């Protein structure tokens, strides 16, 4: 079965590399940075040395030139130990870097990507607002043309990597969507790259006391008469929906891969614990109630893992992908991860409720994946509508 998850020698080498890095570098810091609600910038830049910050970026642009399966592998392996750190990686490598590589001009890519790929710059993507999340056409942030510049006004909310430290330092570079007008009665959305130091760009607040994903920084970004040069607009006015759609399938796929990593770790933990822990003179793995949690957890994790990698193997970079299945893998895998992590806590009892065995942290982290990148309810709506419109994919 491994060949399904590692379809080439290159993929196998990548998994072995990331798994080794996760075991030697990521695991040991996960509890500390979760407790401190801090993003490990030093570790992030060590990850850059593996070449994974541009995993899906073409080689001619300085990236690794790999595919959606490779991106899936990285997210699964990192999330086995630290989903919070992995979420910061996803926001940088998928939402920002891949978005630029797929949608920006060659001149723009060569201007921004080199520092993003080395980790010198930390990137983010700004879509959600205080009053607009899944409903992207409800966003209010505006961009008014003023000669060779645009003036941006508004706020972006829940932005992973929006700030990079406790001092409120904003992301070095954030790709934001803003309203540049109206066409046929609908808002016209356009894409801009805002860089640290631009007038009017800053952090409104660092969002703390999150239930999970505490090892990634979340912030509100404020744009107050922010002056952005015309050359920082990606594409033409009104191109944002196309830009979003070209990146959305990969985002949801990699979020689903994170769910698989979380669940795989939880199955490992509860299986090992149940074999060691004894009650009434027997390992608790001998009891049917515990067997149900472990066996169902493994089966559910493998079902999700197979669906995720099957979808990844057919997904091209830069196209619109199969939206039914990019929605479907995140819908199924995210709910599965929360359930399996909760079952792992139950198997471990009091030990599961504290941080020593990681499943408590993984359970908190898993819940975000049912919300971020599209809620499970949004996926259900999209899939139902697409099935009615397009028919089932296998017919």
Contact between 159 and 223 (Cβ < 8 Å): no
Cα–Cα distance between 371 and 369 in angstroms, integer? 5
* Other Cβ atoms closer than 10 A to 77: 25
Cα–Cα distance between 358 and 347 in angstroms, integer? 13
* The pairing of beta strand 173-183 with beta strand 123-126: parallel
Among residues 123, 94, 110, 103, the alpha carbon closest in space to that of 60 is found at 110
Of 251, 356, 360, 370, which one is the catalytic site residue?
251
Backbone angles phi, psi at 279, to 5 degrees: -145, 135
CA distances from 238 to 67, 91, 103, 242, 249 (A): 28, 23, 13, 9, 20
**Which parts of 277-375 fold into alpha helices (H)?**
288-313, 323-348, 359-368
Give all strands (DSSP E) within 104-161, no chain letters: 123-126, 142-146, 149-160
* The pairing of beta strand 233-234 with beta strand 278-279: unpaired
Cα–Cα distance between 129 and 56 in angstroms, integer? 27
159 has which bridge partners? 219
Cα–Cα distance between 270 and 284 in angstroms, integer? 10
Among residues 272, 394, 229, the alpha carbon closest in space to that of 325 is found at 394
**Which parts of the chain fold into alpha helices (H)?**
2-5, 9-21, 30-36, 41-48, 68-81, 83-90, 99-103, 106-118, 240-276, 288-313, 323-348, 359-368, 376-390
237 in active site: no
Classify residue 34 as exposed, middle or buried by CB count within 10 Å of its CB (0-12, 13-18, 19+): buried
Just list the catalytic residues: 251
């Amino acid at each position: 079965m491994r060949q399904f998850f590692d379809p080439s020698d290159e993929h196998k080498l990548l998994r072995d590399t990331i798994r080794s890095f996760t075991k030697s570098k990521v695991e040991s810091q996960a509890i500390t940075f979760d407790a401190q609600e801090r993003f490990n910038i030093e570790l992030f830049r060590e990850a850059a040395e593996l070449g994974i910050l541009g995993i899906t970026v073409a080689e001619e642009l300085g990236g690794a030139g790999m595919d959606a399966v490779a991106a899936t592998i990285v997210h699964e392996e990192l999330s086995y130990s630290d989903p919070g750190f992995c979420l910061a990686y996803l926001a940088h490598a998928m939402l920002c870097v891949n978005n630029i590589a797929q949608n920006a001009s060659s001149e723009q890519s060569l201007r921004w990507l080199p520092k993003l790929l080395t980790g010198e710059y930390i990137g983010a993507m700004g879509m959600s607002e205080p009053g607009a999340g899944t409903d992207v056409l409800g966003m209010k942030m505006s961009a008014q043309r003023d000669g060779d510049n645009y003036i941006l006004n508004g706020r972006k909310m829940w932005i992973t990597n929006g700030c990079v430290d406790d001092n409120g330092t904003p992301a070095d570079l954030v790709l934001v969507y803003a309203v540049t007008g109206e066409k046929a009665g609908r808002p016209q959305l356009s894409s801009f790259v805002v860089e640290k130091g631009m007038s009017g760009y800053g952090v409104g607040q660092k969002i703390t006391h999150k239930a999970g994903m505490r090892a990634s920084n979340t912030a509100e970004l404020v744009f107050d008469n922010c002056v952005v040069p015309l050359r920082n607009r990606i594409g033409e006015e009104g191109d944002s929906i196309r830009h979003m759609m070209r990146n959305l399938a990969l985002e949801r796929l990699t979020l689903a891969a994170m769910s698989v990593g979380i669940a795989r770790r939880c199955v490992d933990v509860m299986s090992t614990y149940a074999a060691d822990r004894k009650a009434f003179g027997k390992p608790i793995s001998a009891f049917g109630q515990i067997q149900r949690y472990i066996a169902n957890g493994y089966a559910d994790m493998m079902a999700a893992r197979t669906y995720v990698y099957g979808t990844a193997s057919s997904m091209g970079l830069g196209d619109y992908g199969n939206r039914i299945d990019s929605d479907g893998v995140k819908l199924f895998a995210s709910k599965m991860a929360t359930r399996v992590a909760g079952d792992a806590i139950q198997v471990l009892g009091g030990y599961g409720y504290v941080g020593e065995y990681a499943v408590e942290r993984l359970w908190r982290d898993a819940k975000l994946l049912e919300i971020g990148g599209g809620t499970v309810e949004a996926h259900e709506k999209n899939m139902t509508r697409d099935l009615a419109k397009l028919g089932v994919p296998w017919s």
